[in-house]
Amino acid sequence: MSSLSTHILDTTAGIPAAGVELTLLRSVENTVLAKGATNEDGRFSDWQLDALPPGDYCLRFDIADYLTTKYGRSFFPHVDIHFCIDEERHYHVPLLISPYGYSTYRGS
Do the annotations mark residue 7 as ligand-binding?
yes
C-alpha to C-alpha distance for 74 and 48, rounded to whole angstroms? 30
What does the buried/exposed string (b/e) look like for 61-94 if buried means 16 or more CB atoms within 10 Å of the residue's CB? bbbbebbeeeeeebebeebebeeebeeeeebebb
CB 55 within 8 A of CB 91: no
Do the annotations mark residue 102 as ligand-binding?
no
Do the annotations mark residue 73 as ligand-binding?
no
- The pairing of strands 79-85 and 55-62 is antiparallel
Annotated binding site for substrate: 7, 43, 105
The binding site consists of 7, 43, 105
